[in-house]
Amino acid sequence: MTGQVPRIRRSDARDNRERLLEAARAVFADEGLTAPMREVARRADVGPATLYRHFPTKEQLVTEAFAEQLRACYAVVDDALADPDPWRGLQAVLVRLGELYARDRAVTAALLSAFPMDFTAERERALKSLAELVRRARDAGAVRPETTLDDVVVVLAAAGGLPAATPAARVAAARRFTTIAINGLRAVPTPRD
């Protein structure tokens, strides 16, 4: 027999891996993607060697820890693009992603930056979809004519980075901020002669 037997993880190794992923989500949500790997190991109550055995690089840890959340972000963009009313779709993106980013700063960084690399193709697809949504809203006269994808990205990044004492306060601030931003992006009616 020359075939390889699939490797089955021991239950303690599976438990350590899950604790590491949970700790990574918590640490990165609180501190962002710049948080040190040692802090993830500390919160998971494992040694650094255990962390690096499961996740040799930070990119691998982030990729696995946030795969589900990032796909949910991309689904929000896809839903908005599918909405026949581009203004309603754009508002939904700003509100839903603004709240999500306020709850979890790591998701903001992962979606809006070049980190982690495993999400580059999905991120590019999402940005193209957002650009299309902005174009449709502009063509429909729903947003100011000078509105661009960069404006939407700035609003989303800002919503995720608002300072607040608690996650709940950060979400409330993000809601207020996105409401103001939405009103700023809305097309201004031209005065009638």
Domain boundaries, the chain: 10-56, 66-185
Average pLDDT over residues 62-88: 88
Q: Pick the range with the lowest mean pLDDT from 52-61, 82-91, 160-169.
A: 160-169
Q: Which two tokens stand for residue 33?
A: 């993607």
Q: Count other C-beta atoms under 10 Å from residue 65's C-beta.
A: 25
Q: What is the reported pTM?
A: 0.74
- At residue 5 the predicted structure's pLDDT band, cuts being 50, 70 and 90, is very low
Average pLDDT over residues 43-67: 91
Q: How far apart are CA 95 and CA 90, in angstroms?
A: 9
pLDDT of the residue at 187: 93
Q: Can you give the C-alpha Rg of the chain in angstroms?
A: 20
Q: How far apart are CA 134 and CA 19, in angstroms?
A: 40
Which fold is adopted by the domain 10-56?
Arc Repressor Mutant, subunit A (1.10.10)
Homologous superfamily of 66-185 in CATH? Tetracycline Repressor, domain 2 (1.10.357.10)
